[in-house]
Structure 1
Amino acid sequence: MTIATEQVQSPEDSEAEPSKKGQGTILGASVIAAGTAVGAGMFSLPVANSGVWFSVCLVLMIVVGYIMHSASMYIMEVTLHFPKGSNYDSLAKGTIGNFGRLINGLSVAFLCYVLTYAYISGGSSIITYSLSIFGDIHMPSGLASLIFAVVLLSIVLCGTKVVDRVTTILIGGMLITFLMSLSALIGNSSTANLFPDISLADRTPYAFYTISFLVASFGLQITVPTVTNYLGKDAKRTGKALVYAILLAGAFYFLWMFAVFGNLSRDLFPEIIAEGGNIGSIIGALGESGIGTNISVALQIFGNMAVATSFLGVSLSLYDYIADLFKFDTSVWVGKLQTCSIAFVPTIILAILFPNGFITAIGYAGVVLVIFSLLTPIIMVRICRQRNPGLFQVSGGTTRQAMVFGFGIVVFIITAFELTGNLPIFGH
């Protein structure tokens, strides 16, 4: 994929450009963005792709991954036209007006709330499963949700740099535990499971349902304004970070799908889906597939870290968005508490009352993700280019923009069929 990284500025723009001092690292920005996506993708993808299975899933994943990366670049381009610290509310207000700002704002807020709830649900599922298996402790799901949320939100309150450091450590831990698990899972996988005798005609009807989950799985766009500001509004460094993020997420997905589909037969998934398709169900099924206890423990640790990285990235984006929307001063504790109250109290209450909504929530996330990550960015970027044609522009011209916008329309139509019950879903 080709990315333009040259930025041309007028004299007055160059004076306002932030200095390199105090900027974040490309690695840190990459893991914040990739970590946001990976927690959802790792555990929702096997369930969502059980209808199309391994080979068809890979083709769809490459196509969707490229389009979602393109969308991220357009959001970065728009962010560069605004003062440092601007988030989605400011971007929409300055380009598509109050009505567009309202629609875009509602979609961003809804997505952040839904994903935050989904990750609390997923995190509590892993905690309760791990405690019941290894400690014979039966913790209520609501209590597990509360503990998971409070511990990680305390990290978010410390700011982007702390989230950067913690997420980098978690990604490192994920790599170690994932590779430990992967060696055993791949060694235990079978070609018969990966490439079963299933006709393309039997798989194709389920491809449409898969696409909305792939959109959510590569949905790191919610972090783009945050990481763009974090890297000092440097187009070249942010562009690199977004490439690394999408490739890192894609590599995790490929290896994870290989491991899961290589160890579990397609016939097992209707039962997993019937249990709600939560993270604990996937790990439990893998644990019963013949792998050793040490590998099962590594999977528990990996699962916790994967969901934690996603939660940190999404919750940080929600925190920044709410602060930008209400103009709270998050440099003082009063502003931080105000922001946290609006951003996280509703999701924690929802996760306590309805702890098993992971897959359902991820599905709804794909709906609103279409609006602010595929549709409105194209409108905003065209407006910004008309106003300031000399600033950084993503390569690809109108063809690439049309591809992203057209794909958004297709996904929106698919979602409408899904919500009205007219879309084939495997296991239902």
Structure 2
Amino acid sequence: MPLAAAGVGFTVTLGLLFTLWALMCYTALLLLEVYQHVPADMGLGSLAARYLGRYGQWVTGFCMLFLLYALTAAYISGAGELLASSLNQWLDWQLPPAAGVLIFTLLGGAVVCIGTALVDLFNRFLFSAKIVFLVIMLALLMPHIHQVNLLTLPVEQGLALSAIPVIFTSFGFHGSVPSIVSYLGGDIRKLRRVFIIGSFIPLVAYIFWQLATLGSIDAPAFTAMLANNAGLNGLLEAIREVVASPHVELAVHLFADLALATSFLGVSLGLFDYLADMFQRKNSVGGRLQSGIITFLPPLAFALFYPRGFVMALGYAGVALAVLALIMPALLVMKSRREHPQATWRSPAAHRRYGWFCCAGSASWLFSSASLPGCCPRWDKKGACWPLVHFAKQHCLYFLPLPHGQGSLRPTFASFLIGCGASTGCGFAIQYW
């Protein structure tokens, strides 16, 4: 996220964080309102079929599968590469990235297949460890914050739009809503707290992370470093120049590992439960094994054999998320309120048309911003911002600067920072309510 916000400025980034958090939290509450009238174990596909009919189910199914498969493959690819690199460094092995991908998929897939309770247990531990490393990084960076850096405004018109898809996706936990509802037995009171507090936890983490990075690193110097190295090493180099401590790189590396692991568990659990609901697999050892195969085999194949092509497809995943997180909840709650006008609980701003126009307008806004040419920045060696290729403008998980004079695409640290996602926050909040 600091890479996407490098030329936007802290003030604009702070406004985007609060606005998109409120929007995504509100649409999650809309889904919760619908779930009070259906069984707690009903998946999004069955929910769409119940209220929106066959065509609604088809659209929901396509968007859900496209988005969750894309995110799962991205996390498998990134975490597998980091795992292989770490094992080679610590144990003096010579594992290729493909071996790391296989090992990570087997271990992470086994946790998901065993059940939601084990995923919740792992996520509590990993998320707590991630918070510890985040605090360590913040403690090292806070003394270097300068007010002049925080007051920096966007260096070029349209840069704020480029940060919207990254921030939008970081609060997109809606694919895991059915799993959370089922896990808590449809308890509306508990679920309200989980969704609000669970999504607020990463919001606070994002704000402090942006405060530390954008406040301590001079914007022109940051963009110049990103021009030379736009990935993880570019951010590490910028932090190293400020803090001058060898421990910072280790803390950031471990934070990235934990962020990927927690995000993988949250996203893949949502995909696992969705496919189990779609194909009506039984909650037995054999049924969960079948669900695990259809959950992890396709993204594993993409991560192993088509990494570059999949990254290109991943650039359009934000459109699917806009449908699932904005348009579909508004349509579902509109249908639900017609069938149940005397519902015991309604989400805030209960007027049915208000929710529809709010979410539909926001979705149209995101679609419009995604269609603007070159709304995702690329930094040259002088710190100037230039348009990217068309598909990179709406990328949700990867900030894809093209190296000067090259046509290849490289995933960067934005995908790792987004790993501190809201689905993890919801999982962390479950233990208290």
- Aligned counterpart in structure 1 of residue 63 of structure 2, from 107, 118, 133: 107
Matched, 1:232 2:188: no
Give, as a single letter, the amino acid of the residue that structure 2 aligns with 1:156.
V
Give the secondary-structure state (helix, strand or coil) at the position aligned to 1:49: coil
- C-alpha distance in structure 2 between counterparts of 1:134 and 1:361, whole Å: 34
Q: State the identity %.
A: 28
- Aligned counterpart in structure 2 of residue 337 of structure 1, from 276, 283, 289: 289
Give, as a single letter, the amino acid of the residue that structure 2 aligns with 1:407.
S
- C-alpha distance in structure 2 between counterparts of 1:128 and 1:189, whole Å: 35
Deviations 1:337-381 (A, max 9, x none): 221221111111212235579986764332210011100111111
- C-alpha distance in structure 1 between counterparts of 2:291 and 2:223, whole Å: 40
Displacement, 1:101? 0.9
- Shift in alpha-carbon separation, 1:356–1:256, aligned structure 2, 3 A: farther
Displacement, 1:332? 2.0
Higher relative contact order (CA 8 A, sep 6+): 1
Report what 2:173 is aligned to: 220
- Shift in alpha-carbon separation, 1:287–1:312, aligned structure 2, 3 A: farther
Q: Is the 8 A contact 2:81 2:97 kept in 1?
A: yes
Displacement, 1:289? 4.5
- Shift in alpha-carbon separation, 1:186–1:353, aligned structure 2, 3 A: farther
Displacement, 1:141? 2.2
Report what 1:119 is aligned to: 75
- Shift in alpha-carbon separation, 1:387–1:381, aligned structure 2, 3 A: same
Report what 1:381 is aligned to: 333
Deviations 1:2-48 (A, max 9, x none): xxxxxxxxxxxxxxxxxxxxxxxxxxxxxxxxxxxxxxxxxxx1222
- Shift in alpha-carbon separation, 1:180–1:160, aligned structure 2, 3 A: same
Displacement, 1:280? 6.0
Q: Is the 8 A contact 2:330 2:355 kept in 1?
A: no
Q: Give the TM-score taking structure 2 as reference length.
A: 0.79
Matched, 1:311 2:267: no
Report what 1:301 is aligned to: 254
- C-alpha distance in structure 2 between counterparts of 1:169 and 1:93, whole Å: 36
Report what 1:34 is aligned to: none
Give, as a single letter, the amino acid of the residue that structure 2 aligns with 1:246.
S
Q: Is the 8 A contact 1:48 1:210 kept in 2?
A: yes
What are the within-5 Å matches in structure 2 for residues 8-157 of structure 1? 45-128=1-84, 130=86, 139-157=95-113
Deviations 1:168-195 (A, max 9, x none): 1111111111111210022234444444
Q: Is the 8 A contact 2:41 2:181 kept in 1?
A: no
- C-alpha distance in structure 1 between counterparts of 2:14 and 2:215, whole Å: 14
Report what 1:364 is aligned to: 316
Give, as a single letter, the amino acid of the residue that structure 1 aligns with 2:74.
A
- Shift in alpha-carbon separation, 1:375–1:413, aligned structure 2, 3 A: same
Q: Is the 8 A contact 1:125 1:356 kept in 2?
A: no
C-alpha RMSD of matched pairs (Å): 2.6
- Shift in alpha-carbon separation, 1:336–1:424, aligned structure 2, 3 A: closer
- Shift in alpha-carbon separation, 1:270–1:223, aligned structure 2, 3 A: farther
Provide structure 1 residue ranges, at least 5 long, that are not aligned to the other structure: 1-44
Report what 1:163 is aligned to: 119
Matched, 1:423 2:375: yes
Give, as a single letter, the amino acid of the residue that structure 1 aligns with 2:359.
V
Give the secondary-structure state (helix, strand or coil) at the position aligned to 2:158: helix
Q: Is the 8 A contact 1:188 1:263 kept in 2?
A: yes
Displacement, 1:422? 4.8
Name which of structure 1's ranges 79-88 and 377-386 shifts more when overlaid on structure 2: 79-88
Give, as a single letter, the amino acid of the residue that structure 2 aligns with 1:60.
L
Name which of structure 1's ranges 147-156 and 279-288 shifts more when overlaid on structure 2: 279-288
Give the secondary-structure state (helix, strand or coil) at the position aligned to 1:423: coil
Q: Give the TM-score taking structure 1 as reference length.
A: 0.80
Give, as a single letter, the amino acid of the residue that structure 2 aligns with 1:118.
A
Report what 2:161 is aligned to: 208
Provide structure 2 residue ranges, at least 5 long, that are not aligned to the other structure: 380-387, 389-433
Displacement, 1:394? 0.8
Number of residue-to-residue matches in the alignment: 376
Give the secondary-structure state (helix, strand or coil) at the position aligned to 1:96: helix
Name which of structure 1's ranges 135-144 and 315-324 shifts more when overlaid on structure 2: 135-144
- Aligned counterpart in structure 1 of residue 200 of structure 2, from 232, 243, 247: 247
- Shift in alpha-carbon separation, 1:100–1:186, aligned structure 2, 3 A: same
